[in-house]
Structure 1
Amino acid sequence: MRISTQMLFQQGLNGILEQQSRSARTLEQLSTGQRVNRPSDDPAAAARIQELDRAVAQQGVYVENIARTEQRLATEEGALTSASTIVRRVRELAVQGASDTVGEEGRKLIATELRQRLDEMVAIGNSRSGEGEFIFAGAQSQTPPFAASAGVVSYAGDSVQRELMIGAGTTMADGDTGDNVFMRIRDGNGAVSVAPAAANTGTGVSIVGAGTPLAAGTSYTIRFTGADAYEVVDQDSNTIASGAFADGDNLSFNGIGVVVNGNPAAGDEFTVAPARLESVFATIDKLAAAFEAPANTDASRTGQRQAIDDALGQLDRVESRLLEVRAGVGGRLSTLADVQDTQESVRFSLEKLVSEVRDLDFAEAASRLQQELFTLQAAQQSFTRIQGNSLFNFI
């Protein structure tokens, strides 16, 4: 077989270029620290790396969501703690104002502080997270949820409890809505409530005790037929119960108990109905209004006493609601701590696996480079000797 001079040169050149390409690829690996820099380096490994990178990125999202949720919940927990402190202070003021030793001017001073506490509660309801979002506004996190106008506090948020993915198929609420925390608190005993008629002239003050929820539209009227006698009629004017009355008696009927203290006058009435929703803001506002109003008659003093007793009962339910929400927040924070450890561990394992597939063994690569450079040098020297051979040298 004849070997032409062109073929000889081409084969030698191809060998040198191939060795240069191998050396350049090894040098690139050493400079980047990665064994796989492009899919052509190792197609199977490149596909595996791409899959692992997606998993690592997803774990990063989970960890970031956990941190964001933890920050918002920690802010909410602080706000709830502050709200509970205000509720306890309002209770102290209500008890103080109920004392007969506090005059009208003293009650007006108490009312002034109550108004200040009301403003503080509104400010707590408008608390922001570290990202500047309103934590009690639900999905309307860019809008202040609470606004006061003429003593009436309205809610501009919604009832959507936002949730973030903190793991594969696992979500967690990053807060609680303001209407659930501050607005939707049932009065009375939480099931039924009792309210005196505006036209009452006696000194009777009512407190609802036992009672199960009433169906919508169901109500009862406790009517005093005399100073020492009463009857109970339903919404259809049917008599349900009747009997004698003495100060402090518990009037029981159909599983409901209402304690009436004082001395109601003949014709005085108390209406028993399903518990209504009342906000903590309305509770404080009513209490302040009761202390601001003059109490210079038996009827006005009785009305003030009723308002104080109603407020004290409602403050108990407000505090219970805040404790309930705080317990939920604490539980979620505890769960987040456990989930965060798990997700961090998973991300570390994935990153380690990616490193094993993609990263370079520097010792092996350095040794291989030395071998490739030696081979390249040998190829160059061989080519120099071969290309110098000619038949004319032997003639």
Structure 2
Amino acid sequence: MRISTQVMFEQSMTSMNRQQSEYLKIGQQIASGKKVVRPSDDPQAASRAVGVAQAKAQTQQYADARISARNALSQEESVLNSVTDGISSAKNLLVQAASDTLSDADRQSIGSELRGIYESLLGQANVTDGNGRYLFGGYKDDAPPFAKNAAGSATYNGSEHSREQRVDASRLMPVSDSGKTIFQSVASGNGHVATASRADGSEGNLTFKGPNRLDSTQPGYGENTYTLQFTGANEFQVVTTDVNGTSTTGPTRTFEAGQSIEIGGRAISITLEGSADIGDKITVRPADHDQANKNLFQTLETAIKALETPIEGKPGVQADFRNAVSTSMRELDNSLDNVLTVRASVGARLNELDVVDTVGSNRMLNYEQTLSDLVDLDYSKAISEYSMSQVGLQASQKAFMGLKNMSLFDML
């Protein structure tokens, strides 16, 4: 078999090109720090690396979303702290106003201070975040959620749904609470609230204290509404209305001023002072009843109106004032409990974000380790291969130099 000079040249060139290609490939790997520079270097590793990189980018997006969610929840918690202080101050003012030693001027002065708290709470309800969005407007965050109507009462115009943000693949977290949830709601189980009403032309001066819980295990507790209908100065009947709207009227009972009266089968007690007139009523409803007042601003408006009304020398109006203050204080207690419940929920969500952050950080470390295993270069191994490839290329070049100088004419 004859081997021509051309065949030997082609084989030598092919060997040199292969050695040079391997030498350049390892050089690119060292320069980039990656062992997979092109998908063709390792198709399987390149494919897996694309999937891991996408998962890593998505995890980073969730981490950025958690930063935004934490900022919103932290701001809400700060505002709710101010709201809590405002409600507590309002309660203290009503306790002060309930004193019989105050004059009409003193009560009006307290009413002015209470109005200041009212305006402050209204401002807190309409607070905005750093992006100009109203914090408690729900999804309708481009306009103030609370505004005064023609009658001067604050009404809610925002969305009843809380804004949510996805903070992890399987977690959609509320990042704010609607103003209705905070300022116009009452947590279930907050007991009962009593309200008094006098009949037209009534000369009664009946006041109440309570109601107080005696036994919450009694049937109908937290569901039934009890109406004390007065048929005389110290006589009344209890009308019990269940959740279905069915009313039952009990027998005529008598009361003595200052003594506790049990209603609802010893579920609730209430204490009456003064005397009633025919047609006067005291209604005891669950705090979360549809017809019960759950509106914080309405409570303050009622209390301010009562404080600004002169009562000196008017026994009936004095009784209305005491009843209004008693009802307002109970409603403020319920509103405060509701705000504290929302604050606890905000705190729980902030704690949850910390836990999800920890899980996300561990997940990012796993992704980075997997990517490193797939595409990152082992420098010590690559440098060794680079040196060996360089030696091979130089040997191939030297062999080619020797081959190209061979000629039959040298033998003549």
CA contact under 8 A between 2:187 and 2:337: conserved in structure 1? no
Retained in 2: the 8 A contact 1:115–1:288? yes
User: Corresponding residue for 2:178?
Assistant: 177
The superposition leaves residues 116-155 of structure 1 with CA deviations (integer Å, 9 ceiling, x where unpaired) of 2112112222333445443322233444322234532222
Post-superposition Cα deviations, 1:257-292, rounded to whole Å, max 9, x if no partner, equal: 443222223443334456324211111111111112
- The residue that corresponds to 2:216 in the other structure is none
Is the 2:163–2:174 Cα contact (8 Å) retained in structure 1?
A: yes
Tell me how far apart the structure 1 counterparts of residues 15 and 129 of structure 2 sit (CA, whole Å): 66
2:211 maps to which of 208, 211, 215: 208
Q: Which amino acid aligns with 1:152?
A: S
Shift of 1:12: 2.6
Give the drift of 1:394: 2.3
Could you tell me which runs of 5 or more consecutive residues in structure 2 were left unpaired when the two chains were aligned: 214-219
Structure 1 residues 237 and 331: alpha-carbon distance in aligned structure 2, compared to 1, 3 A threshold = closer
Decide whether aligned partners of structure 1 residues 355 and 142 sit closer, same or farther in structure 2, where only a CA change above 3 A counts. farther
CA distance in 2, matches of 1:70, 1:258: 45
Alignment of 1:214-253 (within 5 A): 214=223, 221-233=227-239, 239-253=249-263
The 1:257/1:189 distance shift into structure 2, 3 A limit, reads: farther
Q: What's 1:269 paired with? A: 281
Q: What is residue 217 of structure 2 aligned with on the other side?
A: none
What SS class does the counterpart of residue 230 from structure 1 fall into?
A: strand
Deviates more, 1:191-200 or 1:312-321: 191-200
Work out whether residues 166 and 172 of structure 2, in 8 Å CA contact, stay in contact via their aligned partners in 1: yes
Q: Would you say the 8 A contact 1:145–1:157 is kept in 2? A: yes
> 2:358 aligned with 1:341, yes or no?
yes
How far residue 94 of structure 1 moved from its aligned partner, in angstroms, is: 1.0
Aligned with 2:311 (options 267, 271, 295): 295
Give, as a single letter, the amino acid of the residue that structure 2 aligns with 1:208.
P
SS at match of 1:246: coil
| 1:185 match: secondary structure | coil
Q: Note the alpha carbon deviations across 1:72-111, whole angstroms, 9 max, x for none.
A: 2222221111111000100111112222333222222222
1:288–1:28: structure 2 CA closer, same or farther, 3 Å change rule? same
Q: Which residue of 2 aligns with 1:103?
A: 103
- Residue 205 of structure 1 aligns to which amino acid in structure 2? T
Offset at residue 220 of structure 1 (A): 5.3
- List aligned pairs for 1:299-314, cutoff 5 A: 299-314=316-331
1:315 pairs, out of 332, 342, 357, with 332
Q: Kindly provide the CA deviation profile for residues 230-274 of structure 1, in whole angstroms up to 9, marking residues without a partner as x.
A: 233468996413122221343444445443222223443334456
CA contact (8 A) 2:228 2:238 kept: yes
**CA–CA separation in structure 2 for the residues paired with 1:77 and 1:340:** 20
Rate the CA distance shift 1:187–1:171 in 2: closer, same or farther, 3 A. closer
* 2:153 corresponds to: 152
CA distance in 2, matches of 1:188, 1:50: 53
Deviation sequence 1:280-337 (CA, Å, 0-9, x none): 1111111111112222422222222211111111111111111212222222222322
> Residue 223 of structure 1: SS of its match in structure 2?
strand
Rounded Cα–Cα distance in structure 1 between residues aligned with 2:194 and 2:96: 25
Please give the TM-score of this superposition, normalised by the length of structure 1.
Answer: 0.88
The residue type equivalent to 2:233 in the other structure is A
Amino acid at match of 1:322: V
**Match in the other structure for 1:121:** 121
Query: Which shifted more, 6-15 or 172-181?
Result: 6-15
Greater Cα offset, 118-127 or 262-271: 262-271
Equivalent of residue 331 in structure 1, options 348, 351, 360: 348
Task: For residues 169-210 of structure 1, give each alpha carbon's deviation from its aligned partner in whole angstroms, at most 9, with x where no partner exists.
Answer: 344332322211111238996456433135342111234334
Task: Say whether the 8 Å CA contact 1:187–1:314 is kept in structure 2.
Answer: no
Partner residue of 1:44?
Answer: 44
Correspondence list, 1:22-101, <5 A: 22-101=22-101
| Superposed displacement of residue 221, structure 1 | 4.2
Q: The residue matched to 2:231 in structure 1 has which SS?
A: strand
Cα shift at 1:224: 2.6
Partner residue of 1:379? Answer: 396
Shift of 1:39: 1.0
Q: Is the 8 A contact 2:195 2:324 kept in 1?
A: no
- Quickly say closer, same or farther: Cα 1:188–1:165, change in 2 above 3 A: closer
Greater CA drift, 169-178 or 340-349: 169-178
CA distance in 2, matches of 1:138, 1:173: 10
CA contact (8 A) 1:187 1:193 kept: no
Question: 2-11 or 67-76, which moves further after superposition?
Answer: 2-11
Closer/same/farther in 2, CA of residues 111 and 310 from structure 1, 3 Å limit? same
TM-score by length of 2: 0.85
Question: Structure 1 residues 141-150 or 106-115, which shifts more?
Answer: 141-150
Per-residue deviation at 1:10? 3.0
Query: Mean Cα displacement is larger for which, 333-342 or 34-43?
Result: 333-342
Q: 1:193 to 1:4 in 2, by over 3 A?
A: farther
- Take 1:4 and 1:133, find their aligned partners in 2: how far apart are those partners? 84
The farther-off stretch of 109-118 and 230-239 is 230-239
Q: Distance in 1 between matches of 2:178 and 2:113?
A: 27
Note if contact 1:228-1:246 (Cα within 8 Å) is conserved in structure 2.
Answer: yes
Identical positions, percent: 32
Tell me how far apart the structure 2 counterparts of residues 202 and 51 of structure 1 sit (CA, whole Å).
80
1:10–1:144 Cα change, 3 Å: farther
Change (3 A) 1:335 1:272: closer
